[in-house]
């Protein structure tokens, strides 16, 4: 390569990387780095000058009951959201791809499986904020609510889906599952499609019923995809914001019964203008997320099944 060519190559690399790297450094990397410093200041209000207070904010957040309530809600979602979503999605993906006729034609999905997949996936393309407003109406506390109307007609209601502190969290979980299931049905279906049909047919010839077909063949072969789903849903559970902020009463209520870390960070920063404290909460959230990422990488090492 001549010097001229090397010069042109270097120029090309620099020119192509300049814009993306600059944008990324200015808008992503620099805010993340600043956040760690701001977390150690007492910065309050837009015009105030912050002063360094060391780890004071972290000491204070240890005694912040609301924040720890938020953490327990994220932790509960971290366990329940993947568990419920994956169980439902695996069940449907199995029915749609393998659970169909078992007669002489081998293994197929049920009739109309394409239509089901299209319908199930649709909530995924809606904005979370739109879904939140939609379910706020579905959950209305009186006879005008889509759910409470029939419940009251049956003499069972009204249920305070969003107004009863003991119920509201489950409503949030329910809506998140409602929106997520379709995506994982499609994801697992793609995983199932890559498994050779003969695997299932061989199992059937050996006399496997649907139940053992699911637990002995489908689940082990899909295990990699299930792990990917678990990580995705785990991150979704740690990052949840819009559904809580928009749908629930008082942005995380009633009585803090649905609040999450992201909502407390936003509330502290942009409603109370405690920038230093909000950043400290952000640092804690950062370590929870990175911790989860490391744990899931650590546990997802498992031998791949080759076929």
Interactions with other proteins, residue window 262-301 (CB under 8 A): 262, 265-266, 269-270, 275, 278-279, 282-283, 285-286, 289-290, 293
Q: Which two tokens stand for residue 297?
A: 């990488």
167 vs 229 by CB, closer to other proteins: 229
Q: Which of 48, 55, 190, 193 binds other proteins (CB under 8 A)?
A: 190
For other proteins, the closer of residues 74 and 257 by Cβ is 74
Stretch 47-86 residues interacting with other proteins (CB under 8 A): none
Residue 91, C-beta contacts closer than 8 angstroms, at least 6 positions apart: none
Q: Which of 133, 156, 193, 305 binds other proteins (CB under 8 A)?
A: 133
Would you call 254 helix, strand, or coil by DSSP? coil
Residues 197-226 that bind other proteins (CB under 8 A): 210, 225
For 219-241, what is the HEC assignment?
Answer: HHHHHHHHHHHHHHHHHHHHHCC
Q: CB-wise, 62 or 115, nearer to other proteins?
A: 115
Binding status of residue 127 toward other proteins by CB under 8 A: yes
CB 188 within 8 A of CB 93: yes
Rounded least distance, CB 186 to other proteins, Å:
5
The footprint of other proteins on residues 223-252 (CB under 8 A) is 225, 228-229, 232, 238-239, 241-242, 245-246
Distance CA 258, CA 251 (A): 8
Among 7, 122, 215, 272, binds other proteins (CB under 8 A): 122
Residue 159: other Cβ atoms inside 10 A:
17
Angle at 292 between CA 287 and CA 297, to 5 degrees: 130
Question: Smallest distance from the beta carbon of 32 to other proteins, in angstroms?
Answer: 5
Token reading at 276 = 């230093």
User: Which positions from 85 through 104 interact with other proteins, judged by CB under 8 A?
Assistant: 88, 91-92, 95-96, 99, 101-103
Residue 219 CB, nearest approach to other proteins (Å): 18
Residue 91 CB neighbour total at 10 angstroms: 15
Rounded alpha-carbon distances, angstroms, from residue 83 to 74, 80, 234: 14, 5, 10
CB of 214 vs other proteins, minimal distance in Å: 12
Q: Are 265 and 99 in contact (CB under 8 A)?
A: no
* Region near other proteins per CB under 8 A, out of 58-66, 139-147, 160-168, 198-206: 139-147
CA 94, CA 50: separation in Å to the nearest integer? 57
What mask of x and - would describe binding to other proteins in positions 29 to 48, judged by CB under 8 A? xxxx-xx--x----------
Binding-residue total with other proteins (CB under 8 A): 98
Alpha carbons 107 and 214: distance in angstroms, whole number: 13
């Amino acid at each position: 390569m001549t010097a001229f060519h090397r010069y042109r190559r270097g120029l090309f690399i620099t020119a192509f990387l300049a814009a993306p790297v600059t944008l990324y450094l200015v808008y992503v990397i620099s805010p993340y780095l600043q956040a760690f410093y701001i977390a150690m200041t007492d910065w309050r209000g837009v015009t105030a000058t912050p002063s360094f207070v060391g780890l004071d904010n972290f000491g204070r957040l240890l005694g912040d009951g609301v924040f720890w309530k938020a953490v327990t809600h994220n932790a509960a979602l971290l366990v329940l959201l993947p568990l419920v979503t994956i169980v439902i999605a695996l069940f449907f993906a199995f029915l749609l791809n393998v659970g169909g006729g078992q007669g002489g034609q081998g293994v197929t999905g049920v009739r109309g499986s394409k239509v089901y997949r299209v319908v199930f996936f649709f909530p995924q393309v809606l904005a979370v904020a739109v879904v939140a407003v939609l379910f706020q109406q579905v959950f209305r506390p009186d006879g005008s609510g889509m759910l409470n109307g029939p419940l009251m007609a049956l003499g069972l209601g009204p249920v305070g889906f969003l107004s009863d502190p003991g119920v509201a969290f489950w409503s949030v979980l329910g809506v998140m599952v409602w929106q997520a299931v379709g995506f994982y049905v499609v994801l697992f279906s793609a995983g199932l499609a890559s498994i050779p049909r003969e695997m299932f047919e061989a199992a059937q010839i050996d006399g496997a019923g649907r139940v053992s077909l699911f637990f002995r063949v489908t689940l082990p072969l899909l295990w990699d995809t299930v792990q990917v789903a678990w990580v995705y849903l785990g991150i979704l559970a740690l990052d949840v914001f819009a559904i809580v902020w928009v749908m629930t009463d008082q942005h995380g209520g009633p009585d803090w019964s649905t609040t999450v870390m992201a909502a407390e960070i936003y509330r502290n920063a942009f409603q109370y203008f405690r920038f230093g404290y909000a950043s400290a909460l952000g640092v804690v959230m950062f370590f929870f997320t990175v911790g989860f990422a490391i744990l899931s990488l650590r546990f997802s090492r498992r031998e791949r099944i080759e076929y």
